[in-house]
Amino acid sequence: MRNSRLFSTIAGALFAGIVTSTAVLADPSTRIGIVAPGPHPYFTQWDAAGQQAAKDFNIGVVDYRVPAKWELAAHNALLESMASQNYNAFLIFPGDPVATRPTVADLVGMGAPVISLAGCLQDPSDAAFCFATDNTVAAYDAAKLLIKEMGGKGKIVHFAGFLTDPNTKVRIDAIARAVAETNGAVTVVDNITDLDVPEAAQDKINAFLATQGNNIDGIITTAWIPSVVAATALRKIGDKRIKMIGLDNDDLLMAAIKDGYVSGTVVENAFAQAYVGSFAVDKLRTGCKLRDDAPWKNANRSAKLMDSGTVYVTAANLDTYHDIQKDKAKGLLASFKSAYLKCP
């Protein structure tokens, strides 16, 4: 008797749970999950941008989530749990350009559109498109800006991220192209890679500046951590002769720009990525399609890249660049509506 009651209770709970799950999954409003691959300062703007998009575009829910550690398994587990919890549209920075594809295929198979955000999945994938900075353009522009700061001549060192990251090779090539256009007036002394971890960046950058600092005229950094470490090193040395162009907008880097140790930084438009991305994925979920003649770029391993652009920040616009980012976001939104999207 007791056993039958116990089993009745358990069966009842199971049934109620399944009914509850099914009912929640039937929620008709858009619930967007913006998912980073791990903790990183770059993604901090995504939360606010998502909330702003939810308010401006009347989207049901926009939640920013990040796994506790930067690992593929944790990233996949987070995406799977969100898919089970009635999120029906996703903006995802891939944990791996290929190994995230099966999870994206699962999500799309469940009717949830996915846009690859800030980093692209390798083609072919089920993501609608990739909305990210064109790495080639960003690195080329940064190199041109540095060459201009150096007066069109001198020697450059490039501090870069992981060599295993395909973007690193792309950035090295883009910088080489900009340097080649100077017809030998500017040369790249070295491309030092694998600096996107603090310890390695500290060791290699400080050792390089200690031994060869007098022989270079410019520094270009194309990853977050070497940008911070190099800016800090220049401040410690007290050297304003060496010109430096960094990447993104860490507080230490921005302070170095303000104090004149760094010439400027190329800031990716993380705000626009999450803001316009939220609008786009909501539209795709509610029946709009991508235009066949949309002006996609073929870059970052994807044939469907929409460039989210960059903002060049110097001491002159240090206090206003967030407004510039927002203005550019509006421009990207208008461009997406007119050139990329068709709605019934």
Partner 1 sequence: MAVGRSSRSQPNEEASTALGLLLLIVIAFAVFSWTATGFASPYNLYTLTRTAGLNVLLGLAMMVVIATGGLDLSVGATGVASAMFAGYLMQDFRFQMVIAIVAALCFGGALGFCNGFVVVFARVHSFIVTLASMSIIFGAMIVLTKAESVRDLPASFLALGKIRWFGYLSPMLIVSVAIGALIAIMLRWTDLGREILASGASSRAATLSGVRVGSRIITVHALSGMLAAAAGVMLSIRNGAMVPSMAGNLGQEWLLPAFLAPVLGGTLLSGGRAWVLTTVLAALLVTELTSGMLLMAIGEFWVQFALGSVLLLAVLLEKGRSTLMGTGEGI
297 contacts 131 by C-beta, under 8 angstroms: no
**What are 297's strand-pairing partners?**
305
Binding residues for partner 1 (CB under 8 A): 9-10, 13-14, 16-18, 20-22, 24-25, 67-69, 71-74, 76-78, 80-81, 83-86, 96-99, 101-102, 105-106, 110, 122, 164
108 Cβ contact list (under 8 Å, min separation 6): 114, 126, 127
Nearer to partner 1, 120 or 244 (CB): 120
Nearer to partner 1, 74 or 237 (CB): 74
> For the chain, where are the alpha helices, taking DSSP H only?
2-25, 44-56, 72-84, 101-109, 135-149, 166-180, 198-212, 224-237, 251-258, 270-285, 321-335
Nearer to partner 1, 193 or 263 (CB): 193
Nearer to partner 1, 72 or 315 (CB): 72
274 contacts 45 by C-beta, under 8 angstroms: yes
**What are 313's strand-pairing partners?**
265
Nearer to partner 1, 125 or 265 (CB): 125
253 contacts 231 by C-beta, under 8 angstroms: yes
- Rounded least distance, CB 157 to partner 1, Å: 23
**Residue 343: both structure tokens together:** 């709605």
Which residue, 160, 128, 148, is CA-closest to 304?
128
- Rounded least distance, CB 45 to partner 1, Å: 22
Nearer to partner 1, 27 or 327 (CB): 27
- Rounded least distance, CB 251 to partner 1, Å: 26
232 contacts 252 by C-beta, under 8 angstroms: yes
What does the H/E/C string look like for 57-95? CCCCEEEEECCCCCCHHHHHHHHHHHHHCCCCEEEECCC
333 contacts 278 by C-beta, under 8 angstroms: no
- Rounded least distance, CB 327 to partner 1, Å: 35
303 exposure class (CB count in 10 Å sphere: 0-12, 13-18, 19+): middle
- Rounded least distance, CB 186 to partner 1, Å: 30
59 contacts 30 by C-beta, under 8 angstroms: yes
- Rounded least distance, CB 100 to partner 1, Å: 8
111 exposure class (CB count in 10 Å sphere: 0-12, 13-18, 19+): exposed
- Rounded least distance, CB 121 to partner 1, Å: 11
Nearer to partner 1, 47 or 106 (CB): 106
Nearer to partner 1, 96 or 239 (CB): 96
Nearer to partner 1, 141 or 194 (CB): 194
- Rounded least distance, CB 160 to partner 1, Å: 15
- Rounded least distance, CB 322 to partner 1, Å: 30
Which residue, 206, 262, 202, is CA-closest to 231?
262
